[in-house]
Each structure stands twice: as C-alpha cells, then as structure tokens.
Amino acid sequence: QVQLQESGPGLVKPSQTLSLTCTVSGGSISSGDYYWSWIRQPPGKGLEWIGYIYYSGSTYYNPSLKSRVTISVDTSKNQFSLKLSSVTAADTAVYYCARAGVTATLDYWGQGTLVTVSS
Amino acid sequence: QSVLTQPPSVSAAPGQKVTISCSGSSSNIGNNYVSWYQQLPGTAPKLLIYDNNKRPSGIPDRFSGSKSGTSATLGITGLQTGDEADYYCGTWDSSLSAGQVFGGGTKLTVL
C-alpha cells in the first residue's frame, strides 16, 4: 500500500519561501509509471493543482504559480519537495502531496499539512 | 473561479439517489479522462472514480461515473449519512494553460 506523508514548517512569514517535503513509502518514486504531485486547498475553498514532477526530474507547473514554484525529487530518499517563494496570506492552505497516473488520476494522497503565512 | 463547473450543493434523503454534474470544455473533459474525489470533513480527498467510470478497489458500486461530451456525472445510490462530504471532479486540461484542473466542489447533504 502506497503512503505519502508531508512534512515542513506550519508557519511561514510573508515574502519568505515555503518548503515542504513528501516522503513516499510502499512504492518507488523511480518506478516510472507515475507523476508526483502537489495540490493545495485554502481554508473553506476548493482544490488547486500546484504541479507535478516525474522521477527523471521533468516538471509541469500551474501557469498561475509557475514563476514562484519549484518542485524537485530525491530518488535516493524516495522523496519529492515543493518550494513556493514570495508567499503572502493568499498562500495559506492545506498542502497535499499525491500520486498521479498517466490519465491524471490522483490515486494516493497524503494527509495534508496546514501552512499559515503570517508575521 | 474553477475551470470545471459543479453545483455548490446537492441534498437527498437516506436511501435515495443523487447525481452531481461537472461541466467543462473540449480542452479538458471533452478530450481527457475524468476522476471524482470524495473529501470527508477534515480529511484528505479520496479517489472515488477514475477514467470516467472505473471504481478503485474498495469503492462500493453505489458510486458510478459517466461522461458525455464535455460533461461528466457522479451518481450515488442508496445514500447513507456517511456519504455527507464534498465531491470534486478533476481532469487534465490540454489548453495553452495546460495542467490538472478541478471543479469547485459540491457539498452533499444527506437529510
């Protein structure tokens, strides 16, 4: 059974960089069949896709966030990471990592981690 | 504003049937597979339906999905109080702003 777990600071100051890591267990990031994803959900609102990374390092980002987002992968640790720069209060959300198949199906999700942007 | 359009809320009595619609365009639903996700209060979304109408292992056949043109529908029969949740449709959008897109979510209330 594949499991994903997000980790990182729950509080980030405005203008700083949000950094989160997703650790994958029960399966290998390097399997090549999946894209590893970040999605966020502001309090009381819907889901917003942030981006994907393939094990090779290829990335696909939400055009509205592309200038501030970097997703990277560490296959040796079976982890992938998210960096979001120049954050504002609008970036306050629960951040989820998830596994995506070739038809964009998100079949396994982490439990999510709340990140609050506040001074 | 979400790329895919869902009704904000639907409701029905226990035991009844409900459908949730998801409307898009040719760049997303019209040419790509649709998934549906259930989000119980305070939890992460869970995959309910993938590739328009397939159920992952463990999802009861009370849940069904269909797609026609640029719209998709989630059906739930034999409603239970435990089905009260937010439901989201999702797919890939192949336009110039390509990426994973979601509907705004539909709150299901089981009266």
Cβ–Cβ gap A106/B104 under 8 Å = no
Look at residue B83 and give its three-state secondary structure: helix
Q: Which residue has the tokens 């069949």?
A: A33
pLDDT tens-place string over residues A69-105: 999 999 999 999 999 999 999 999 999 999 999 899 9
Check if the beta carbon of residue A73 is closer than 8 Å to that of residue A79. Answer: yes
Q: What is the pLDDT of residue A33?
A: 84
Instruction: Kindly give the confidence (pLDDT) of every residue in chain B, 111 residues in length, as a single tens digit, with 9 standing for 90 and above.
Output: 889 999 999 999 999 999 999 999 999 999 999 999 999 999 999 999 999 999 999 999 999 999 999 999 999 999 999 999 999 999 999 987 788 999 999 999 998
**Using CB atoms, which residue from B35, B97, B101 is nearest to A105?**
B35
Cβ–Cβ gap B33/A112 under 8 Å = no
Burial B39-76 (b: 16+ CB within 10 A, else e): beeeebbbbbbbebeebeeebeeebbbebeebbbbbeb
Q: What is the mean pLDDT of chain A?
A: 95
What is the C-alpha separation between A63 and A119, in angstroms, rounded? 27
As given in the structure block, the two tokens for residue A105 are 């199906």
Q: What is the pLDDT of residue B66?
A: 97
Site from B20, B100, B101, B106 to mutate, A interface, most A CB atoms within 10 angstroms: B100
